Amino acid sequence: TLGFLPGGTGNAFMHDLKATNPKIAIQKIIKEKTKKIDILKLEFTHSTEYAINIVGWGMVTDILILAEKMRWVGSMRYSLASLYYIFNKATKRTKCIIDSTEIDNKKYIFILICNTIHTGKGMQAAPKALIDDGFMDIILLKSTISKLQLLKLFPQIFSGAHIKSPYIEYLQAKKIKLIPETKDVLNIDGEAKCLTPVRVSVIPKKISIFY
């Protein structure tokens, strides 16, 4: 059984556990109340990885890479990196297969695959997500959004209101395969690593945690 303590700047998983305060996190471990949670399995051409939080493609990875280069700014670096890519909006083309539905060669700004509600700094990227429901929540941001509309959309991710946007597709599924036109780095639980294509699937209630 795994226990978690907050650290770093994002603490996305700790937000889902409502334990961003270290004392609360320690109390959850001491009480020994447990539950089993889902994990995400990522299958690449020559390797396999696992995630408990998110898998991101497109702008969400670009933001992570830039933010890592701006550590001297502190926790503001994610917001600054996000603003940079909003004003330098880039789209990428990918084929994806979600469960049995194939989406052929559409352009997106990003695709975010979530096991948890939160991403870094308390953003409610996937407000309908549950860590033990056997599904991943998939957020696809369409390329047709303008820079101004993207700037207006960005703050809404903190409340989860962004999913009401006509430029957002919000899906729940058990598996997804991403086959972009180029080999792209992914954001895997806050680390930029591995290269597409990738097949992501849910392994239901695989590990036990204190909560």
Question: Can you give the pLDDT at residue 166?
Answer: 97
The model carries a pTM of 0.94
What value does the mean pLDDT take over residues 112-124? 92
Q: Considering the chain, what percentage of its residues have pLDDT values greater than 90?
A: 89
On whether the CB atoms of residues 116 and 13 are closer than 8 A, the answer is yes
What does the pLDDT look like over 26-60, one tens digit per residue? 999 999 999 999 999 999 999 999 999 999 999 99
Distance of alpha carbon 22 from the chain centroid? 23
Q: Considering the chain, what percentage of its residues have pLDDT values greater than 70?
A: 100
Can you tell me which residue has the tokens 């701006």? 70
Question: Can you give the pLDDT at residue 179?
Answer: 97
In terms of DSSP H, where are the helices of 103-188?
147-153
Which residues have C-beta within 8 Å of that of residue 200, sequence separation ≥ 6?
A: 40, 41, 42, 43, 55, 113, 136, 175, 176, 177, 178
C-alpha count within 13 angstroms, C-beta hemisphere, residue 3: 13
What does the pLDDT look like over 150-189, one tens digit per residue? 999 999 999 999 999 999 999 999 999 999 999 999 999 9
What value does the mean pLDDT take over residues 3-10? 88
DSSP lists the bridge partners of residue 57 as 111
On whether the CB atoms of residues 195 and 187 are closer than 8 A, the answer is no
- When pLDDT is cut at 50, 70 and 90, the band that residue 194 belongs to is very high
- When pLDDT is cut at 50, 70 and 90, the band that residue 72 belongs to is confident
Q: Is the peptide bond before 22 cis (omega within 30 degrees of 0)?
A: no
Question: Can you give the pLDDT at residue 79?
Answer: 84
- When pLDDT is cut at 50, 70 and 90, the band that residue 77 belongs to is confident
